[in-house]
C-alpha cells in the first residue's frame, strides 16, 4: 500500500540516458525535485548538467529512462504497452510549465525590455496586452529594473539583460524554473545582482533547478546539491552536508578545485 503522506516530486527522473554521436552524455540519472525546493547541480564542465536541464525543457530528447513533471511523462505518451513521441504542439504545452534562463540572455534584440517580457503571455497564453504589460511592469519592479522598460537589450548591461530574462521566464507563470549557469557570462561585478534576484525568488517558494559554479550560492540557497561528473550523479544530499562533508572523492576533488579558482 502506498504512503500518501510522502509528497510526489514535481520533477522525477529515473534511469535517464542521452548520447550524442554514440558518446554518452547522461547515464542512469535519478533525480527528484520537490515542490518549493531549490536543487543545485554542480560538477566539472562537460559533466552533463546542462544536457539534463535541456532534457527537462525538451530542447533535447532523452534516449533512455523517463522524466515526469507534475506527474506527466515528458516527451512521450503511453499508448498501451508502447510509447509514442509527442507532437511539437504537445511538447510546447508541456514546455510552458517550465521557465528556463540560459547562460546567454537570448533576449529579442529588436524588442524593448517590456516587449520581451510581454511577448510570451500575449502570444502563447493569449493574455490581453494591457494585462500582460501590467504584469510585466510588476516583474520589472521585482527584478529592480522598472525604469528600463523602454530600453533595448543593446542598451542594457549583461546583468540587467539576465534579470530581464528571469522576468521574461516568470511572466509565463511556470511551475518550475531552470537556470543554466545564469551568471557564467557576466562580469564579476554584475553577478551579485542576478544572484540576489534568484535568492528572492527562492524565498517565494519557487521550485528551482540550478546549474551553477557559484558554490556560495549553492551552499546558502540550495536545499539539496546534486554532484555530476562524466554524465553520472556522483553524490547528492542536503547542500550543507555535501558541501561541507562530501563523501565521494570526485566531489572532494571538484570542491577543492573550485575553491582555488
Question: What averages of pLDDT result for each successive group of 10 residues across the chain (261 residues)?
Answer: 67 98 96 97 96 97 96 91 90 93 92 96 92 97 97 96 97 96 92 96 97 95 97 97 95 90 60
Q: Which residues partner with 211 through β-bridges?
A: 41, 180
Is 54 inside any structural domain? no
Strands (E), 34-130: 38-42, 64-69, 72-73, 76-79, 82-85, 98-101
Please report the pLDDT score of residue 6 as a whole number.
62
**Measured distance CA(57)–CA(99) in Å, rounded:** 8
With cell 562530501, the residue in question is: 246
Residue 83 lies in a domain: no
Domain of 135?
Answer: 107-173
| In-domain check, residue 145 | yes
State the pLDDT at residue 130: 96
pLDDT the model gives residue 41: 98
pLDDT at 168: 97
CA atoms of 120 and 172, how far apart (whole Å): 7
Residue 256 placed within a domain = no
pLDDT for position 82: 84
Q: Give the integer Cα–Cα distance in Å for 160 and 183.
A: 11
- Nearest CA to 16 out of 43, 51, 59 is that of 51
Output the pLDDT for position 245.
95
Q: 180 by DSSP, 3-state: which?
A: strand
Query: What residues have CB less than 8 Å from 94, skipping those under 6 apart?
Result: 58, 69, 72, 74, 75, 86
**Quick check: is 90 in a domain?**
no
Beta-carbon contacts of 71 under 8 Å, excluding residues fewer than 6 positions away, are 8
- Greatest alpha-carbon span in the chain: 59
Count the domains in the chain.
1
| pTM (two decimals) | 0.93
pLDDT for 19: 97
62 contacts 30 by C-beta, under 8 angstroms: no
Residue 134's pLDDT is 97
Q: Where are the beta strands (DSSP E) in 128-184?
A: 176-180
DSSP code of residue 146: G
Amino acid at each position: 500500500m502506498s504512503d500518501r503522506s510522502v509528497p510526489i516530486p514535481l520533477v522525477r527522473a529515473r534511469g535517464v540516458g542521452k548520447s550524442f554521436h554514440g558518446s554518452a552524455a547522461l547515464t542512469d540519472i535519478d533525480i527528484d525535485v520537490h515542490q518549493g525546493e531549490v536543487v543545485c547541480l554542480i560538477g566539472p564542465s562537460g559533466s552533463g548538467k546542462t544536457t539534463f536541464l535541456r532534457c527537462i525543457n525538451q530542447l533535447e530528447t532523452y534516449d533512455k529512462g523517463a522524466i515526469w513533471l507534475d506527474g506527466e511523462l515528458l516527451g512521450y505518451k503511453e499508448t498501451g504497452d508502447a510509447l509514442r513521441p509527442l507532437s511539437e504542439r504537445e511538447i510546447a504545452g508541456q514546455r510552458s510549465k517550465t521557465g528556463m534562463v540560459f547562460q546567454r540572455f537570448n533576449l529579442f534584440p529588436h524588442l524593448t525590455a517590456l516587449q520581451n517580457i510581454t511577448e510570451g503571455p500575449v502570444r502563447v497564453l493569449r493574455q490581453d496586452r494591457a494585462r500582460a504589460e501590467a504584469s510585466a511592469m510588476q516583474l520589472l519592479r521585482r527584478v529592480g529594473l522598472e525604469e528600463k522598460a523602454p530600453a533595448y537589450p543593446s542598451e542594457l548591461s549583461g546583468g540587467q539583460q539576465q534579470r530581464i530574462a528571469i522576468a521574461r521566464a516568470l511572466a509565463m507563470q511556470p511551475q518550475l524554473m531552470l537556470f543554466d549557469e545564469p551568471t557564467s557570462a557576466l562580469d564579476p561585478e554584475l553577478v551579485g545582482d542576478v544572484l540576489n534576484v534568484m535568492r528572492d525568488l527562492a524565498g517565494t517558494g519557487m521550485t528551482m533547478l540550478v546549474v551553477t559554479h557559484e558554490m556560495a550560492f549553492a551552499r546558502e540557497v540550495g536545499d539539496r546539491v546534486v554532484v555530476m561528473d562524466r554524465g553520472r550523479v556522483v553524490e547528492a544530499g542536503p547542500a550543507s552536508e555535501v558541501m561541507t562533508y562530501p563523501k565521494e572523492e570526485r566531489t572532494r576533488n571538484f570542491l577543492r578545485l573550485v575553491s582555488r579558482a
